[in-house]
């Protein structure tokens, strides 16, 4: 279906504007993505519902297209540099059953969440699990900083560590206290790497439930950015 929309008051345009609201995005499992790279990745992974563009796009002929003017594109965009194409995508919600998982405990910076998702994909981890209180996967900064990884690796929100323990995963948490050098220990076949909040680290109750506490030895500083630390540890245990 191709629709030509020219008014900001059009009902379809108003429905699209609603997708800029965090609660609506999560409720509908639909969100706006911007630019050719993200739109193409969502399309390749069958997660693109429609495109909004200035002229008809033949390569997206199998899905709905809204042909709009520059004013509508600018209204929908969150970027300073307005894209030529915008998409509406959805997440395929799947259960994660792989052997190597990443769990984020109250990681609130969307750039960190997106970067960790991207890194987990690049190192072939099975999926990323987010606790309540993490930056949402529907957050545009999470989506942008993941560079499209969010369409390629399973990511689930509002997850509980107890559910992973029941599935007999080894829970391996990062900590500055009572922890061993990550490079000196081997992990079991099925494990979850846990990374915590930027300021507070991992919740104390979660630490108590962990099977192993690990740390990165450091000089001249007492902590690293969570995305940097996650990258170092994920790379070490990737095999």
Please state the domain extents for the chain. Answer: 2-89, 100-236
pLDDT in the model for residue 139: 93
pTM for this prediction? 0.91
Distance CA 71, CA 75 (A): 6
Q: Check if the beta carbon of residue 151 is closer than 8 Å to that of residue 41.
A: yes
Distance CA 215, CA 218 (A): 9
CA atoms within 13 A on the CB side of 211: 18
Query: For residue 132, what are the contacts with CB-CB under 8 A and spacing of at least 6?
Result: 106, 157, 158
Q: Which of 161, 79, 160, 155 is nearest to 114 (CA)?
A: 155
Q: Which CATH superfamily is domain 2-89 in?
A: Ribosomal protein L30/S12 (3.30.1330.30)
Neighbouring CB atoms inside 10 A of 205's CB total: 8
Stretches where the chain sits below pLDDT 70 are none
Look at phi and psi of residue 70 and say left if phi exceeds 0, alpha if psi is from -120 to 50, else beta.
alpha
Q: Which of 239, 183, 237 is nearest to 214 (CA)?
A: 183
Q: Check if the beta carbon of residue 116 is closer than 8 Å to that of residue 104.
A: yes
Q: Which of 146, 197, 153 is nearest to 174 (CA)?
A: 197
CATH annotation of 100-236: 3.40.1280.10
pLDDT in the model for residue 220: 87
Neighbouring CB atoms inside 10 A of 54's CB total: 13
pLDDT in the model for residue 33: 94
Helix axis angle, 110-122 to 226-236, nearest 10°: 10
pLDDT in the model for residue 3: 81
């Amino acid at each position: 279906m191709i629709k030509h929309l020219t008014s900001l008051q059009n009902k379809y345009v108003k429905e699209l504007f609603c997708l800029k609201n965090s609660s609506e995005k999560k409720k509908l499992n639909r969100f706006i993505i911007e630019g050719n790279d993200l739109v193409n990745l969502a399309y390749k992974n069958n997660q693109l519902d429609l495109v909004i563009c200035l002229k008809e796009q033949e390569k997206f002929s199998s899905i709905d297209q809204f042909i709009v003017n520059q004013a509508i594109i600018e209204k929908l965009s969150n970027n300073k540099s307005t894209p030529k194409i915008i998409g509406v995508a959805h997440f395929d919600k799947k259960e994660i059953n792989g052997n190597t998982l990443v769990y984020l405990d109250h990681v609130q910076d969307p750039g960190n969440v997106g970067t960790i998702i991207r890194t987990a994909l690049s190192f072939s981890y099975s999926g990323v699990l987010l606790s309540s209180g993490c930056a949402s996967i529907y957050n545009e900064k999470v989506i942008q900083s993941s560079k499209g990884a969010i369409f390629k690796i399973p990511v689930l929100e509002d997850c509980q560590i107890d559910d992973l323990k029941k599935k007999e995963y080894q829970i391996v948490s990062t900590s500055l206290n009572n922890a061993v050098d990550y490079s000196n220990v081997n992990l079991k076949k099925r494990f979850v790497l846990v990374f915590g909040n930027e300021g507070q680290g991992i919740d104390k109750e979660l630490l108590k439930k962990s099977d192993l506490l690990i740390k990165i030895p450091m000089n001249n500083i007492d902590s690293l950015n969570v995305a940097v630390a996650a990258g170092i540890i994920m790379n070490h245990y990737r095999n």
